[in-house]
Amino acid sequence: MQDVRTALAKMAVTHSTATSQEAHNCLTRALTLERAAALLAAAEDSRLHAYVVLCLLAGVRSEGARALAWDHVDLDAKTISVWRSVRAHGDTEMNRSRRTLRVRQVAVEALQAQLRRQAGERSRAGELWQGSGLVFTTSVGTPYESHNLRRDFRRVTAAARLGARWVPKELRASFVSMMSFQGVPVEEIARLAGHASSRTTEVVYRRELRPVITTGAEIMDQIFQPKQQREGRAEAAG
């Protein structure tokens, strides 16, 4: 764990407190594929279904998903636009640039269900409804407070028999883990996660990444060609 503490100490110098804390959480654990499937199944009947899907299957930051507005969702194009967080004056804030992500059909269907759920809640709330334009709101349209979101999320993890100690940020770590397990290069994972560089991804999610270094094998194959290739060339030359 000494190398982990060293990495986190270095991050604290150039990254916000929130990012350093995220690194600490992500270095601890991530969902396995089996647990991820159980969580998705348990979330289907929850008001956080679309939230879980976006964070787990698209790698959206937990706070970014909480702040997602319907104006930044295009269900026809199957895309969402999320803000990229940056360091400014020692804290994390959102800059003016957005990244647009294409999402899977399961995410589109979850967002469609969320739209219908919200319409029903708006109708039942009547004059009490407070339109915020956000995708994830309370039953009267107000923004989701982080502690309320954590509470509802833990209900989902408990229903999935994962316990009630998980936090939403661990969904993003699980996204990185699953991408890496499938052989997606760290540079592409960094792009999907909205990191400025792959270095940030490597430090924050070092336990979730499963690098496969092939350069040495490729070079040596060129220098010392496998027997089958040498025999094939000899036959062609003969």
Q: List domains and CATH numbers for the chain.
A: 2-237 (1.10.443.10)
pLDDT score at 52: 95
Task: Indicate whether 198 pLDDT > 60.
Answer: yes
pLDDT band at 189 (very low <50, low <70, confident <90, very high): confident
How much is the pTM? Answer: 0.70
For the stretch 54-71, pLDDT in tens is 999 888 988 899 999 999
* Residues linked to residue 143 through DSSP beta bridges, in sequence order: 137
Which region among 19-23, 95-99, 103-107, 180-184 has the lowest average model confidence (pLDDT)?
19-23
> Which residues share a beta bridge with 74?
79
Tell me if 87 sits within 8 A of 15, measured CB to CB.
yes
C-alpha to C-alpha distance for 117 and 161, rounded to whole angstroms = 25
Contacts of 144 (CB under 8 A, 6+ apart): 66, 134, 136, 137, 138
Position 213 pLDDT exceeds 70: no
* Model confidence pLDDT, tens digit, residues 129-168: 998 999 999 999 999 998 999 999 999 999 999 988 899 9
Q: CA nearest 55: which of 24, 22, 8, 16?
A: 22
